[in-house]
Structure formats: C-alpha cells, structure tokens
Structure 1
Amino acid sequence: MISLIGTMIGASIGIFIRKPSKRLLGAIMGFAGGLMLSVIVFDLIPEAVHKGGLLNTLIFYTIGILSVMFLDNVFSSKKSSNGNYIKVAFITALGLMFHNLPEGIIMGVGFLAGENLGIKMSLIIAIHDIPEGIAVTAPLMASNVKVNKILLYAFITAIPTALGAAFGVIAGSISNEILGYCLALASGIMMYVVFAELIPESNKLWRGNTNTLSILIGLTLGFIMVSLM
C-alpha cells in the first residue's frame, strides 16, 4: 500500500498541476536517487554479504544490474517520439509495469531481512514512483482522457509492485542464503536505477544546485534512517 501511494501521488500531481516544473521533478528524482543509494550501500549490500557471502553477493549484484539494463534497453528502443499521446502513455505504462516488478521484489526481500528494512524500502520506492505516476498521467491529460480513467491506469501500472513483493517473499523465505542472493540482486537493480535513470534524468530535467542539494539531502536522510531504524 505504501509503494502504491507514490504512483497515485504522482498521478494526482499530473492531473491537478498538469505541468509540474522541471525543477520540481528533477529535485524529486535526485532526492529519491540519493535516498536509494544510501540504503543500498549502508544496508542492503552489507546484509547480502552477511547472509550470502562476498562472492555470491558480487555475482547476484551483477546479475541484477545486467537484467534491469536489458529491460531498460528493450523499452528504450520502443519509445515513441511522435505526437500520438495515447501510444506514448501506453508504452510508458508498459515499461513502468515491467520496471515495477523488480521494485516489488526489493520490498519483499527487504521485509524478510527485517521489518524496518522493508518499511524503508517501501518509503523510498514510493518517493521514486512519484515521477513515474506523472509520466503516465501527462500524455493522457494531453489526450483529454477522463480523470477517473487516468487514475485507474496509473493504479494498474503499480500492481506489478505487489506481485513482485509476493515473489520476493516466496523466494527469500526458502533459506538465509537465498535471501542473501535476493538482497544482492535487489542491490544491483537499485544501483542501476540510481545511476542510469534517476540521477541522469534529474540532471536532464534541471541543471543546477537544486539537483545536487536534493541528492545530498536524500543521501544524508538515508544514512540517518539506516542508522536509527
């Protein structure tokens, strides 16, 4: 439920603000990237090494990076540049649905590793999903689709997150070692998302000190969360 809130907040912003500033979107993405990076480095990877060993962590961490890189390349090649907003929205939503599946896995294994880690991952993913909700909503608003339908479509794109969480719980509960592998896989996925999507997209939307500060604030807040929770 927490993770779904992010997508729906983003959809609501897209509906009511219609054209949120690039500075705001860039700051949200930068903040989410910094927060995510902090939890990966200080929480997820150490936990994966503890449960699965250094070598296995490196292997599954690499698999996580390569798998999400493959998906990213597949859907990047299918992006539309024409004025067909419905088509753009459909391709965007399809890409986000596949993107949200591994995010759910991250949350599922996070809760298995500890309730606090699961809550932290859910909150971070919720923040990260706000721009995604806007991304689905904007082209649909441009096509004059009814608001209730737009919210429904945004909700549907978030459903794979819950399916991924269920899969993560099932896979991670087999043994402590498997849980370590899942945490390493999740770390790789998240690391790619931070450096290939969130931070570059943040800088693309708005080049300035706002982005740098938002990343640093996210990183600092993540470090505090890891230390206190």
Structure 2
Amino acid sequence: MSTLNAMIIGSLVGVIGTGLGGAATYFFKNPSKKFFSGLMGIAAGLMLSIVAFDLLPHAFEIAGLSMAIIGILIGAILVSLFDMLIAEGGITKNTYIKEGILLGIAIALHNFPEGLAIGSGFMVSNSLGASIALVITLHDFPEGLAMATPLSIGGVSPFKNVVYTVLAGIPTGIGALVGVLTGGISPYFIGLNLGIAGGAMLYVTCGDMIPQARNIYKGEISILGMILGIIGGIIITKYL
C-alpha cells in the first residue's frame, strides 16, 4: 500500500463516516424535542459503548493501564480547556452549537489515532488495513450524527452540518499518513493517543450530550435511547 493510497483511504473513511452522520439531518426537517432527545440519547450511548468496549481496551492493551489513564486525563483536560475558551471567548451563546463544536473537536482528536490504526494496519497487510477501515467507518457514522444533532437543534443548516462533520473527519487521513510514514511507531504513542481520544469523548458525552438529551425532553426517551445506543455499540464491537 503506497503512502498516498493509505492517506486517501484514511481520509475517505473519516469524511464518509462522519459526513453521512451530518447528512442525516437532511431527512429531519422539523423533528420534535422528543425525537431529538431520543436521538441524542442513542448517539451518546453508542459513543460511550464504543469508548468503553473498543477504544479504551485497545489503549490498555497497547500502552498499559497507567499510560492509557494518563491519556484519558489529558484528553478530558484538553476538551475542558476548549470548553472554557469557547465560553469565555463568546464564540456562541447557543449551548447546542457549543456542544456541537466541542464534540467536533473530540471527534477530530478521536479520528487521528483511528487513522494511525488504519495506516499501521496497511503496513501489515492490505486485508488488515481494509478491515480496520470498514469498522472505523461504521464507528464514525454515529459520531457524525452525534455532532450534527446538537448543531441542527441550534439552527445550523443541513449543508453546513455536512461541511462541519466532513472537516471533523479529515484528521483520519492525517493519522493514516503518519501511521504509514512512521511504520514502526511506538505502541506507547498510539496507546496514549487512544487514551486521549477516549478521555475527550467521555468528557463531551457525559458532560454535555447526556445532560442536554435530558434537558431537551424531560421524559424517559433519552434514557431508553442511551440503553439502545449502548447495546448497539456492544453489537458493533462484538461482531465487527
């Protein structure tokens, strides 16, 4: 696999996966608060499940418990700093748009080590790289959907949602390029990055997405959505 081809494949994985999640908002013109609450619950559950049962276990396996935990703390602190900068800088007073921006940052952090995994996989064999790319594409769809949902609630148009989610997927291609160029990159570096990505996703999901899902609609739909999302993430992790 050439460097250029690996980068192209990595970029397509991120762009298609998250972009399709953003494009889904084209089909929801005037959804109810109940619908959005359930949708955000499902997306939050999917992300929690993937982080807990896929992303972090790989980080623990590759870099060890201590290094992965350090990564989790770094990721959470970085996103909390972005959160404060957005709030203090007056980027937006719309909490839903702020949430979408933060989630986009977290997804971008997540996509870089995923790209590393794709690039490293292709360095072993084309079949391994292709299988990793397929799994990550499936993983990226709910992340793009989770990012686009609060943006859509905040009034962002479907077209801009697609643009923003596509931009969040670009680091996958950069990560794939780095993975191919470095080849024998330290496993501790990859594990640390996976931990950072996991910490960032946990911060946004637990600190923003879940509370917002509950605030949009006070019923139980968001809780049921989260449970369904977690089950869906377990199935994806188990069989893909």
Q: Where does 1:39-188 land on structure 2 (aligned, <5 Å)?
A: 39-77=50-88, 78=90, 80-81=92-93, 98=105, 100-105=107-112, 107-109=114-116, 111=118, 114-115=132-133, 117-135=135-153, 138=155, 150-172=157-179, 174=182, 175=185, 176-188=187-199
TM-score, scaled relative to structure 2: 0.74
CA deviations over 1:44-93 (Å, ceiling 9, x no partner): 111111111111111111101110111122213325559xxxxx999888
Task: Percent identity, please.
Answer: 21
TM-aligned CA distance change 1:227 to 1:153, over 3 Å: closer
Determine whether 1:199 maps to 2:210.
yes
SS at match of 2:218: coil
Query: What amino acid is the match of 2:167?
Result: P
Label 1:4 to 1:67 Cα distance change in 2 as closer, same or farther (>3 A).
same
Count of aligned positions? 209
Matched letter for residue 115 of structure 1: A
**Contact 1:104–1:165 (Cα < 8 Å) also in 2:** yes
Structure 2 gap segments, 5+ residues each? 1-15, 122-131
**RMSD between superposed Cα atoms in Å:** 3.0
Question: Following superposition of structure 1 onto structure 2, how do residues 186-225 of structure 1 map, counting pairs within 5 Å?
Answer: 186-225=197-236
Q: Separation in 2 of the partners of 1:126 and 1:135?
A: 14
Is contact 2:144–2:165 with CA below 8 Å preserved after alignment?
Answer: no
2:222 is paired with a residue whose SS is helix
Displacement of 1:164 in angstroms is: 1.9
Question: Which structure 1 residue ranges, 5 or more long, are not aligned?
Answer: 83-87, 140-149
- Counterpart residue type for residue 18 of structure 2: S
Q: CA deviation at 1:171?
A: 4.6
